[in-house]
Amino acid sequence: MITAFRRYLDTWVVRGFFLIMVGSFVLWGMGDVIRGVGTTTWVAKVDGDTIETQTFQAEFTRAMALAGRNLPNGQEPTPEMRRQVGDETLQRMIGQTVLTHELHDLRIITPDPAVREAVMAIPAFRGTDGSFNRQVFETVLRNNGLNEPRFLDMMRNDIAQRQLLGAVTAGAAAPDTETLPIYQQEFEKRSAEIAEFPIAAAPAPPTPDEAVLQRWYDNHPDSYSTPEYRKVKVVELSPQSLAKDIPITDADLHAAHDAQKSEYVTTGTRTAQVITAPDEAKAQALATKWRDGADWNAMQAAAKTDGATAVELDGATETMIPDRDLARAVFAAAADTVSAPIKGQLGWFVAKVTKIVPGKTRSFDEVKDELRDKVLADKASDLIYDRANKLDNLLGNGTPFDELPGDLGLAGLSGTLDAQGNTQDGTPAPIPGAPELRQAIITAAFQTQKGEPPRLVEVQTPSTGGSSYYALEVEDVIPPGKKPFDEVKQKVEEDWTADQQRHEAETQAAKMLTAIKGGQSFADAATVAGVPVRRTPLVTRGQGADGMPPELQRVLFGLKPKEPTMVETAEAFLVAEPAEIVEPDPKADAGGLAQARQAVKRSVAADLASVFTEALRQRASVSINQKNFDSVVQP
């Protein structure tokens, strides 16, 4: 046959056929070249350097993945959201490019040891023993769509940029004109007088007739409907599913406990009232007054009169107290006892500990199960990666779940669940594995279309250490359905009754609010309404306390003195007005003032860095290819 084929090659017919084929290939190749002339592949150009479409697409995909985590289960990003994320991503990349050019012009470089030290210090790359783990490092990069060279280049550039911006922002200052208003706002304290109208205590309405309940049922269809369900099949690959292939001894667990003992130690704290006096005599006089029964408000006033300062330490560890002698005395003191004058490195002190939270060390037996999960995840890291590659290849070749090999260490499950992970009888779906894996499977069940081929997904599981994998397919989608009226009639009546009680509580609260606004005192209006009045503890804008409803705290600082308001909580309607307003004193609260000053300084530094980057951007020649941008953001 080969001889015959060679003989035919010598004929003019066959030679002509091959000439036609060669010509066609040449023309097709030239066509591709011609079509490529004038076609731009970049999304942005900065002083001649381009941000290629492929590079932008990778960054945009990562940014969308982060933004998508805040969306409800099953909700797709809107075109507006995609465009906003795209704009932010591109502007960030342009900013990084102009900074890179400036680094080059200034000859600022990052040596390899600095990059290595920075990478080794990133907590996300540490294993169960607390040290850098290459397997974890590679997994984290893979989950974020990065390879090692790309990541190291990013780190190198980031370190250099921080060095440059650090020099730009080194002069950032926080003047008193900026700091004091923020300090006053953040550390102002308020309490409120509250009159409460509990919804459950409102009188029950008369028994409704059938027509009333039917109307309520018709007007609230979502309250009496079954949710959407998904019937799914799932395979899992996790350290737990591989446990039978990985022996773990008590020696392994004890070694892990010894290496991680610090993780199981909770440091004790103290809450204390502390007065700093200028000398021993005044410290002794203040201590005597305090022991004689003066409360904290009186002691604050007395301290101010004597040239002393009074501060509260809230939940402080021993190392958080700046004076070592004071710290030792506070942690040695009994609760609710005024100390003798304390000679410290920073002056004389008198202290009263108001709350003691002892430290605690969890024993080996208490953490044994946690240790087993972590040791298992650490030992499984190489094996699970190898098994995941095999599973990925099988799924890529179209192997059905039912035909997957039994020696991969897989856990399989199937069933029907809603978006909260509950079965049709209302119980949690029995999904094995770490909580993060369970939530990822539930989310994926409502983001996957029926009939869509399964793909292997990796999930980081910090609660048990390491990572796990799953693949999922949706067999059926069961849409929401309205429950029959007779089936939910009792629930309808309960909901209607609760709504009537809520309306009655709201009406009574509104009457009291109207009376106060009409000139009646808060106490008199509460007496007429037949409700008691209580005072909340003092709170700041950012720190609540037991007895202060968060719904009231959110509006309290916007009220004028004695200005009444009404708010609704889950259990009641509240009528309230500001009771006590304590303006902070920066002279007596050096720590709070320093905290506010540091916050202002960080804000000023961020503004300086932003202005500097924008100035570089304005100086550069920047072009944006809108067509390529749109092809990525709005495909």
Residue 590: per-residue pLDDT: 79
Mean pLDDT (the chain) is: 85
Picking from 429, 479, 472, the residue whose alpha carbon sits closest to that of residue 448 is: 472
Q: Which architecture, in CATH terms, is 42-171+614-633?
A: Orthogonal Bundle (1.10)
Residue 288: per-residue pLDDT: 93
Asked if residues 418 and 397 have their Cβ atoms less than 8 Å apart, the reply is: no
Residue 331: per-residue pLDDT: 92
CATH 3.90.1150.10 fits 268-358, yes or no: no
Picking from 48, 59, 42, 171, the residue whose alpha carbon sits closest to that of residue 104 is: 48
- For the record, the structure tokens of 112 come out as 């390899």
Mean pLDDT computed over 222-251: 87
Asked if residues 250 and 371 have their Cβ atoms less than 8 Å apart, the reply is: no
Q: What is the pLDDT of residues 371-416, one digit of tens each?
A: 777 777 777 766 788 888 899 999 999 999 999 998 888 999 999 9
Q: What is the pLDDT of residues 536-560, one digit of tens each?
A: 999 999 888 889 999 999 999 999 9
Q: What is the pLDDT of residues 474-500, one digit of tens each?
A: 999 999 988 999 999 999 999 999 999
Residue 561: per-residue pLDDT: 93
Q: Is the per-residue pLDDT at 5 higher than 50?
A: no
Bridge partners (DSSP) listed for residue 265: 361
Domain definitions of the chain by residue range = 2-36, 42-171+614-633, 189-224+488-582, 228-259+364-479, 268-358
CA dihedral 597, 598, 599, 605 (to 10 degrees): 110
